[in-house]
């Protein structure tokens, strides 16, 4: 009998990193599958100059799962603010250097994970250069992740080019062996779904017998999920996977103070509404909790500790024959 449950998380950006900082405190065998389609900022420049997958989201996930002295993690995340390296985090440059040394981005990620004493595995979805494209409801095609949100249109679907982009074989194996697959939180169309439109990834997720959990965003994102409810997020993922895949969804039920929401409304963002009837129609179990979303320094964010606790409690209840001890 295995002593640890195999959990695969899929996403990118800051959302996945937040979740992993909570999950790593539990005795779980974690594999983080991370998008490499970012083409903006430091990641975009390194990708263009060195012809390697974008390192930024990978860097954040490595930092989140690392178990090192705080000063080392702080150095890894440090971003230069002057000179020729202005805007580049140290970790991005280290990943680029390791890729140059080893000739392979996935190997570079594995080496950096050892150096930073990562709890679990961090895997780029692909070892190839991938460009994210969005098809808007008008039929217009927006090319490049950094341009999609800026376009501000209604997204119908996204896809990756070139079509020959291959999945990381370790990713496919991790999905096959997973007991639980977790998606979110994070930007729906530019952090989560980009992983799913790499060839064979969605197919393996559909075939997997793992329980599938979605952690819904607390706030909508202008240019991606304007006016989206909880079920709208789920339906968007289902559309790209071509199947209703989720067993449970975790959502925030806290009502935020109007003063806190005021600045979000200026950015055309609002709290994601739980639409109970539509979730029920999808046949998905809803776990709602008012502590999923919290306010710190007038900023709304996910409560990593609470979300991780809800996930772990669900795993315990789902696997009554196995014994786990919280750390």
- Per-residue pLDDT for the chain (327 aa), expressed as one digit of tens each? 456 899 999 999 889 999 999 999 999 999 999 999 988 889 889 998 899 999 999 999 999 999 998 899 999 999 999 999 999 999 999 999 999 999 999 999 999 999 999 999 999 999 999 999 999 999 999 999 999 988 989 999 999 999 899 999 999 999 999 999 999 999 999 999 999 999 999 999 999 999 999 999 999 999 999 999 999 999 999 999 999 999 999 999 999 999 999 999 999 999 999 999 999 999 999 999 999 999 999 999 999 999 999 999 999 998 654 444 443
How many CA atoms lie less than 13 Å away from 184 in the CB half-sphere? Answer: 27
β-sheet bridge partners, residue 29: 6
- For residues 38 and 57, the answer to whether their CB atoms sit within 8 Å is yes
pLDDT for 240: 98
CA dist 109 and 247 (Å) reads 31
In the block, tokens 């070892």 appear at 127
CA dist 325 and 316 (Å) reads 10
Q: Which sequence spans correspond to the domains of the chain?
A: 1-35+167-326, 37-124
β-sheet bridge partners, residue 182: 9, 213
Measured between its terminal Cα atoms, the distance across the chain in Å is: 20
- For residues 267 and 311, the answer to whether their CB atoms sit within 8 Å is no
Please count the other Cβ atoms lying within 10 Å of the Cβ belonging to residue 9.
27
Pairing of strands 5-11, 28-34: parallel
In the block, tokens 């306010």 appear at 295
- Which residues, including other chains, have CB under 8 Å from residue 212's CB and lie 6 or more apart? 180, 181, 182, 183, 205, 245, 246, 247, 248
E runs forming strands in the chain: 5-11, 28-34, 121-124, 131-136, 141-143, 155-161, 180-183, 211-215, 248-252, 285-289, 293-296, 299-302
> Which structure tokens are listed for 61?
């996930």
CA dist 4 and 30 (Å) reads 9
Which CATH number fits the domain 1-35+167-326, given the four candidates 1.10.1040.10, 3.90.79.10, 3.50.50.60, 3.40.50.10680?
3.40.50.10680
CA dist 260 and 143 (Å) reads 34
- For residues 231 and 211, the answer to whether their CB atoms sit within 8 Å is no
> Which structure tokens are listed for 198?
């790499």
> Which structure tokens are listed for 4?
């640890």
pLDDT for 190: 96
Long-range contacts of 110-116 (CB under 8 A, 24+ apart): 112/62, 113/62, 113/65, 116/62, 116/63, 116/66, 116/67, 116/68, 116/72, 116/73, 116/76
């Amino acid at each position: 009998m295995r002593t640890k449950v195999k959990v695969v998380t899929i996403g990118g950006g800051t959302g996945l990193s937040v979740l992993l900082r909570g999950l790593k405190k539990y005795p779980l065998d974690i594999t983080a599958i991370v998008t490499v389609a970012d083409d903006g900022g430091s990641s975009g420049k390194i990708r263009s100059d060195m012809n390697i997958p974008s390192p930024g989201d990978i860097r954040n996930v490595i930092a989140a799962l690392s178990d090192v002295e705080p000063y080392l993690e702080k150095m890894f995340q440090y971003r230069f603010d002057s000179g020729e390296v202005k805007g580049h985090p140290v970790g991005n440059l280290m990943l680029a250097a390791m890729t140059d040394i080893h000739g392979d981005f996935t190997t570079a990620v594995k080496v950096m994970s050892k150096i930073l004493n990562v709890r679990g595995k961090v895997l780029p979805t692909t070892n190839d250069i991938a460009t994210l494209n969005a098809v808007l409801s008008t039929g217009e095609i927006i090319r490049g992740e950094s341009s999609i949100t800026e376009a501000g249109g209604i997204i119908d679907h996204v896809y990756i080019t070139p079509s020959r982009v291959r999945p990381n074989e370790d990713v496919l194996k991790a999905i096959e062996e997973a007991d639980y697959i977790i998606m979110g939180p994070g930007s729906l169309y530019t952090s989560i779904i980009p992983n799913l439109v790499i060839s064979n990834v969605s197919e393996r997720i559909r075939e997997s017998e793992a329980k599938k959990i979605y952690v819904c965003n607390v706030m909508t994102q202008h240019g991606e999920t304007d006016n989206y409810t909880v079920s709208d997020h789920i339906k968007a993922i289902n559309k790209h996977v071509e199947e209703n895949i989720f067993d449970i969804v975790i959502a925030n039920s806290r009502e935020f103070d109007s003063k806190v929401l005021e600045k979000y409304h200026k950015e055309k963002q609002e709290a994601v509404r739980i639409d109970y009837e539509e979730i029920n129609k999808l046949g998905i179990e809803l776990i709602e909790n008012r502590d999923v979303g919290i306010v710190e320094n007038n900023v709304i964010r996910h409560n990593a500790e609470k979300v991780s606790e809800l996930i772990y409690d669900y795993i315990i209840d789902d696997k009554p024959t196995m014994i786990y001890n919280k750390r």
